[in-house]
């Protein structure tokens, strides 16, 4: 094994060891990686935060095993839902656009109503509950 004297990427201390060793200890390695992650886009972190908020709001609406719930759109806004942020959309055979935050989603209906659903798949035929 070839030993070479190098400097730690984080603290600059001399390190002795394998040629591919970059840090003098776990603390420096972890600190370097944490600092690098801090540099990640705050926009990405903010978007992930909004997606999690949206998911939690939809999850709280679907309680007690109910698979879909009809609520006024303004109620979703009052709860703090961010309509701009979602993970994906799905268009069913009728042309309805379902907007999802992970496994929870909704479809806009007439008259300012929204149908909140879980796991689009075969769950659309399950029991429904109206909330005013």
Domain boundaries, the chain: 4-38, 50-130
Give pLDDT tens digits for 23-35: 888 998 998 888 8
Give pLDDT tens digits for 106-132: 999 999 999 999 975 554 434 344 444
Region class of 94: left (phi > 0), else alpha (psi between -120 and 50), else beta: alpha
Three-state SS at 8: coil
What CA–CA distances, in Å, run from 3 to 16, 25, 26, 49, 106?
A: 7, 17, 20, 45, 60
Backbone φ and ψ of 119, nearest 5°: 45, 80
Kindly report whether the global pTM for this prediction surpasses the value 0.85: no
How many CB atoms are closer than 10 A to CB 89? 11
Residue 79 pLDDT exceeds 80: yes
């Amino acid at each position: 094994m070839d030993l070479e004297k190098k400097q730690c990427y984080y603290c600059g201390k001399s390190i002795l060891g394998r040629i591919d060793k970059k840090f003098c200890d776990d603390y420096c390695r972890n600190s370097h990686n944490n600092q690098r992650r801090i540099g990640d886009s705050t926009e990405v972190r903010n978007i992930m935060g909004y997606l999690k908020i949206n998911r939690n709001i939809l999850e709280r609406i679907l309680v007690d095993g109910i698979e879909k719930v009809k609520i006024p759109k303004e109620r979703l806004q009052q709860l703090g839902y961010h309509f701009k942020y979602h993970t994906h959309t799905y268009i069913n055979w009728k042309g309805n656009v379902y907007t999802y935050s992970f496994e929870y989603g909704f479809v806009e209906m007439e008259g300012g109503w929204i149908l909140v659903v879980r796991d689009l798949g075969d769950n659309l035929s399950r029991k429904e509950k109206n909330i005013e």
